[in-house]
Amino acid sequence: MAGAAGCFRQAGIESPQREARLLMSLASGLTTSQLILRGHMATPDDVRETFDRMVGQREARVPFQHIAGTTSFFGLDFISDARALVPRADSEAVVEAALRLLPDSPGLEIADLGTGSGCLLIALLVTRPDISGTGVEADGAAASLAAENIAQHGLEIRAKLAVQPWSEWSGWGSVDLLISNPPYIRTEVVASLDPEVRLYDPDAALDGGADGLDAYRELAGLSQARLKPGTPVVFEIGYDQQGDVRAILAAAGLTDIGSAKDLGGNDRVVWARQPIG
């Protein structure tokens, strides 16, 4: 593992020793504690071959989650690969905000626009077994990943997928809450992102236009025009976009605008509501 850690260090990967241990744990099926106890024992050839292959992938900055094929989000396991953004802990703040805004009534309908892996939608449906929802996703590959995650969590009856742009989706007027993690990275910044993001996350899920706000303008306008009165909207934002997104939502006539931070203390969520009258 020392050699792998050295390779990772040269590749610019943070916490190289930890990553090497995690990959060996993944390759061997042993916990890190078990690996320490067996440190004096020779590594079986098949485990060594698997480990070396994984080290080569990680050295090329393939995300660990893609190598493992799974990741954890909101206490749940999700299939993760290059078809959609890797679910990240920062986005859990979106789920928490949505749960606070969602009325405590059974039979409600929610929608996740640009659902990607389906992590936001699934986390909400698992937490609220009395509601149903739709993931709207224009990219067929991402939608197929969402479908796999929906099936993995046994939500086929309560979760639907609409494989189309959100502007063409006809269900706006029937939902009781709308969530989205839209693309919000400024176009000029995309090329400077970490390789794990820049090379392996879909560009369409990252690039938010020249100022990173294109999707919010579209979503605000569609929300104002199509949502039923009183419906809350909850959007993930970039750490420096709170003021701009608030202004966009206010200009569209949405009210009760608020925001929340993620666990790192960065602005991460903005919400608003379609006026009641």
Query: DSSP letters of 20-67?
Result: HHHHHHHHHT--HHHHHHTTTSPPPHHHHHHHHHHHHHHHTT--HHHH
Residues 43, 202: Cα–Cα separation, whole Å? 36
User: Known binder of ligand: residue 114?
Assistant: yes
182 is in an annotated binding site: yes
- Tokens 């979760």 identify what position? 159
Q: Is 184 annotated as a binding residue?
A: yes
Position of tokens 């090379």? 199
Element (H, E) at 172: none
- CA 181, distance to chain mean position in Å, is 7
CA distance 124 to 69: 22
User: Is 118 annotated as contributing to ligand binding?
Assistant: yes
Residue 117 marked in a binding site: yes
**Is residue 229 part of an annotated ligand binding site?**
no
Is residue 50 annotated as involved in ligand binding?
Answer: no
Number of H helices, E strands in the chain: 12, 9
Q: Is 195 annotated as a binding residue?
A: no
Q: 10 Å Cβ neighbour count for 202?
A: 16
For 113, the enclosing helix (H) or strand (E) is: strand 109-113
Instruction: Could you list the residues known to form a binding site, using ranges.
Output: 114-118, 137, 166, 181-184
Instruction: Could you list the residues known to form a binding site for S-adenosyl-L-methionine, using ranges.
Output: 114-118, 137, 166, 181
Instruction: Could you list the residues known to form a binding site for substrate, using ranges.
Output: 181-184
